[in-house]
Each structure stands twice: as structure tokens, then as C-alpha cells.
Amino acid sequence: MLNPLDWDLGNVPPGVAWGGVDEAGRGAWAGPVVAACAVLDPETVKKWGHVLRGVRDSKELKPERREALAAELKAILPAYGIAEIDSLAIDRENILEATMMAMRQCVADLALRPRILFIDGNRAPRTGLPERLVVDGDALSCAIGAASILAKAHRDALMIGLEELHPGYGFGQHKGYGTPLHRAQIEALGVSPVHRISYAPVAALQQVDEALRDNLLHSLERCSTVAELHAWVATELRPAYGSLKRVWVETLRRRYADRLVQVADTGSEAPE
């Protein structure tokens, strides 16, 4: 089988920088979706080809090897970008669009703009750069494989951190995916603030609280400045998220937007 680095070199013009884009966490029930872009160029290939030839689809690597290779890639790549979109935005936009948003953001953050991007999958994120879609690209392309490693290692670290914030769910073990353990812990503990309530398996396990919804509406109405409205999202909406129906969240979002306009019109504060 052709080494992924050789596949890349056979599919880019000589002398140019190119990038690969991939995501991690699209199918998970909890936590963010993460996208990464890894940039390669001829100088990096010449100097670090022995490392790049060891790049594989992140799913084929043991966690320890993946973490070590992610650290090495960060040290040798001429540029890379990583972006994450949280569960609230996933539920608001849908997972496909949230993934595209993360891909666009990780490319926008690059210090070096590649001449062409290889995108894993069959959907173009429309980054503004020339894009080539590559189905199963994380197995075919070195740049996409490197991006998959960066995205997966970054997201795994985030999920381990979420286990500390929300103990008992096993996020550090299953990384938010729908395992039997994960389902059992949701049944025991309820849906957490970092779960994706737009996902049917999560919604089916929710224990919703109408009184909490009403309390949130009342506290939202009491906010009189932009700072108070922003604080309401962080200190009241997010902690309650797992106990709210998705339709309730949409109602709260619309009312939040209305309150921002009202505050701006009164001249109390301008929206940031």
C-alpha cells in the first residue's frame, strides 16, 4: 500500500505547501467536535520525512503513541490549527454545520496558508482555499492523517478534563461516545451540561425540569446589562442545560437575543 506521504507528494504541485483537515468527536454524545489542519511543505518533508512516514489514521494508533506523535507533529509542522465547537453550538447548528465551522476556524487560524487543502470526507467546509475532498482521507493522506492525530489527541485531553468537571460519567474512558457504560451513567446521574441534547439517545434519557425552565426565563428577564446577560449564559443556562428540552433552549435563546436588543436600545450598554 502506498505510504500516505507518497500519496500526498503525488497529488500536490512541486514546491508548494499543502494542508490536511480532519475532525474528531462528530459521533459522540457529549463534549465538543474538534477539527484540525496540518500543513506540510517540501522543506519539512525533506527534514522530517522519517517522522511523517509514521503518520497513520489516528484510530489505528494506541493512545500513548497518538499523544506522542501529536506532540512531535506540533514541533515539526510549519503550521497547524485546532478548533473546537461546544455542545450548545452543535445543538444549535446541527453536527454537520458545527463540524464545518470547526474546519473553517482551524484553517483561518493558520500562520502559513497552504496552496491546497485535502479534506477528509465528502463535504467541503468552504474555507476560501482550494479544497479536494478525499473519502477515507485519514488513511490515504499524510496531511489528513496528521490532522486526525492532532484533532483526536486534543479532544481526548478535553474529555479527560471534562471528567474532572463532571465526575462519574466516564468521559476520560469513553470520550463521550455512546458506550454501554456511558448510557448507564446517564441513567444514573442524568444528562450533564456538556451532553448534546439534540442527539436522540441523549434526549431519550433526559429528566427535564419545567420549573427550571421557568426560573431561567424569570432570571433572564431580570438582566439589565449586556454583562449580566453574558453572565446568565455562563452561570445559569449552561449548568442547567442537561435538564432542558431542546425546544425550551431555543425559546431561551430567542428571548436572550431579544433582551440584548432591548438593552442596546435603552442605551444601558452596547452589545460587545
Strands 116-120, 79-85: parallel, antiparallel or unpaired by DSSP? unpaired
pTM passes above 0.75: yes
Kindly state whether residue 56 falls inside one of the protein's structural domains.
yes
Same structural domain, 220 and 92: no
Give the residue among 71, 45, 44, 55 at the shortest CA–CA distance from 22.
55
Instruction: Report DSSP state, residue 58.
Output: G
Secondary structure (3-state) at 122: coil
Kindly state whether residue 171 falls inside one of the protein's structural domains.
no
Kindly state whether residue 219 falls inside one of the protein's structural domains.
yes
- Whole-number Å distance between alpha carbons of 168 and 52: 38
Pick the last residue of a domain from 163, 189, 222.
Answer: 163
- Whole-number Å distance between alpha carbons of 18 and 8: 9
- pLDDT value of position 268: 52
Whether 103 and 6 have beta carbons less than 8 Å apart is answered as no
Kindly state whether residue 200 falls inside one of the protein's structural domains.
no
Same structural domain, 115 and 48: yes
Whether 86 and 100 have beta carbons less than 8 Å apart is answered as no
Per-residue pLDDT band at 61 (split at 50, 70, 90): confident
| Residue 29 pLDDT > 90 | yes
Kindly state whether residue 15 falls inside one of the protein's structural domains.
yes
The tally of domains found in the chain comes to 2
Can you give the residue range of the structural domain that contains 240? 210-266
Summarize pLDDT for 152-186 with one digit per residue, the tens. Answer: 999 999 999 999 999 999 999 999 999 999 999 99
Whether 23 and 34 have beta carbons less than 8 Å apart is answered as yes
Placement of cell 444528562 in the chain: 191
Whether 20 and 120 have beta carbons less than 8 Å apart is answered as yes
List the grid coordinates of 260: 440584548
Rg over alpha carbons for the chain, rounded to the nearest Å, is: 21
Give the residue among 121, 145, 137 at the shortest CA–CA distance from 37.
145
- pLDDT value of position 1: 74
Same structural domain, 245 and 130: no
CATH code of residue 77: 3.30.420.10
Same structural domain, 147 and 230: no
